[in-house]
Amino acid sequence: MLKLIAMLIVMISACAPVFAADSSPAARGKYLVEEVAKCQLCHSPQTETGELDTANLLKGATLNFQPMHAIEDWHKTAPDLTGGGRLMQRWGEDGLTKFLETGLGPRGNKADPPMPEYHLTHEDAVAIVQYLKSIE
């Protein structure tokens, strides 16, 4: 019985690195962007078959939905969120981090619809910005 327990401990220990999550801020940001907020659904173009164009992930897109009734300032496009995009160049890391924390852009305005308003922790906002910066 002790041999069986020892073998199980060795096997579990050997697998631990595989199961351990990358704890870097950029890895957390990737998780928040892709699995929680699902930013790619609006900010990435789709192929002709409706799949996400992974070669252009988060590089901006024309939205494939619209409101049933007119909504003031509704945007038909979602901007490029990557490190090389205009948004990152104009707002910078600090501006985008503040936006994710407060819901307000560098000039103090909210994002136009359909962009939701976020109020993230500083750590989560920084993690997202680090991830977005890593995408070219």
Q: How many other CB atoms sit within 10 Å of the CB of residue 24?
A: 13
Rounded Cα–Cα distance for residues 80 and 21 (Å): 27
Residues whose CB falls within 8 Å of the CB of residue 134, separated by 6 or more in sequence, listed in order: 26, 83
According to the model, what pLDDT value does residue 3 have?
A: 47
Q: Could you list the pLDDT tens digit for every one of the 136 residues in the chain? A: 444 333 434 444 444 443 345 689 999 999 999 999 999 999 999 999 999 999 999 999 999 999 999 999 999 999 999 999 999 999 999 999 999 999 999 999 999 999 999 999 999 999 999 999 999 8
According to the model, what pLDDT value does residue 45 have?
A: 97
Domains and CATH numbers, the chain: 22-134 (1.10.760)
Q: What are phi and psi of 57, to 5 degrees?
A: -60, 125
Residues whose CB falls within 8 Å of the CB of residue 28, separated by 6 or more in sequence, listed in order: 124, 127, 131
According to the model, what pLDDT value does residue 7 have?
A: 40
According to the model, what pLDDT value does residue 11 have?
A: 45
Rounded Cα–Cα distance for residues 127 and 132 (Å): 9
According to the model, what pLDDT value does residue 18 have?
A: 38
